[in-house]
Structure 1
């Protein structure tokens, strides 16, 4: 009897509402990885100065193998300018795909994204304060801005945590309401600081950052997300069964042996830190964290063991392609990343929701 009960518990924990519709994640992940590699190559090769893909990989190989760089501008363009930006786009896209998937499981709401918890609003306030009030050093898109943005994210995390934990427990509704209220409160301060911007250039820097930008990419800026994003993926993947159980409701998850309060607390901490890091290095990029999990669920189903890695790969591919468009669409200036993701994401999300509602009816 006990073995039968244990077997039923394991199979229920492994199950997911959308497993029947899920396609094999392995081949899809391989296709996405190859497409991502091709997109990264194109992102480095294309630009105001086009560089052949063979030469791009030659520069990368020489740098990674420790050979001396060859004289000329191509080596500088590839390694110092374009490769860090392409890698940062992939890391931020992967992180947004992960954090969107995790937040939707955290609050059991398929329309949730990191902005719902207010963390991105806090990061935006910190960054705008850095630009307008001159806090920190490093310029409009330097390390001083990133540090201020991350500090704002952590302060907001602590505030949302304190409000959501009042009265005990860690209910999703209380967490969402606390995040929305505090986020809107901080957004008001951010708007006030934008109005206080001293000159046109300062206002342009603020608005460009608020709409998302990867133009400040550098190897030092890549270092932190290069550690945090893979670590978050490994942590979330190790708790994929617990995330599956959360979607079935707290009582069911607890009956399956999941410590719901502890898992939700850890999940909120990880998603908050990851969101803070991403917003600190790229600004506020809309729709990616909301749209990517929806698109991936339609293909691989809702089992987080498959959904998390596929969401990370698809998010990385999407943002690398979007950044190519932002850099090359206009000759005279660069488009903010958030503008392009919004133009793509809004109709794409409506289409995905329409398909999902049609398949569920």
Structure 2
């Protein structure tokens, strides 16, 4: 059993967004050459100044404040009138019906939803299937709640489409794993799972009566030609599926800390009870901002997708021309290029990049112990600054290449 201090040490936040100020200690001794000047770019998260919040968000927040106590003190699972509207919009989006009660909860961000979902499904000693690579908090939360990670490999570098190792997933279920967690689109690679793979996940979950938690945070930000399949509309037992979404990324509403989880009524019930002792509810006035979610002006989403696609194409070209293995993302705003063979470790290079180029990226080992050779970039940034930042990164890497 983990010592309580060890449990928190293992959470590790040094490379988390907003924590980068602690990375420069003692790294200057490894620096080769001078600094490469340029505008600071933090690829560890999106830039809400470059891609501003969706229209009407602040006005909706103001209306919530003006409404007073009724909006401030909602039910623990969120104000029912808001959930009723969201349930219809998300039913239309996912292709499977959602009951606003008891199949939906509004949470303090999608990170909050993920925490509550893990708390509802993972106990000490439970084995949980996790994709490698995938969102870093998946692994950390399983371990925090005393669970054991059972890795399932995603082969994305040399295959199109990328392939989830379904044999490993079935082996995990067969051995007693009762929870599988994954993101679709995948964070950090931008992979979108094929319809066939999603149906296979649904069939395996049904066969082994396993719960699947799917993070669909970027499922609206899909590029031209990408086909998306919702797990909850693919034949899975409704009580075995929990979907997490929210307006923090595509819609740039991260500052409002809003997430939505929907699906399994039994899991939602446990999440609500957990939320009641953690945060009571998602911030009441902020919940009013969800009026704008899936309710943007005509053409707004198309324009936002095109803006991200242009940056994606620029950065993929730069990395590819420099010889970096880089998969073209099918959705979302993440790149996961493989670094050349360096004479410093990836974490050291990340620190050096911040020190010498004013560029912040996330080391690949955050997403899988097998992917320490890669870095993740969130390219939801000013286009010109993003291009210049990647050019500086590539120039810096040449100094440290074997």
- Asked if TM exceeds 0.5, the reply is no
Instruction: Kindly indicate which of the two structures has a greater share of residues assigned to helix.
Output: 1
TM-score range, shorter chain: under 0.3
TM-score (ref. length: structure 2): 0.26
Q: Higher strand proportion, which one? A: 2
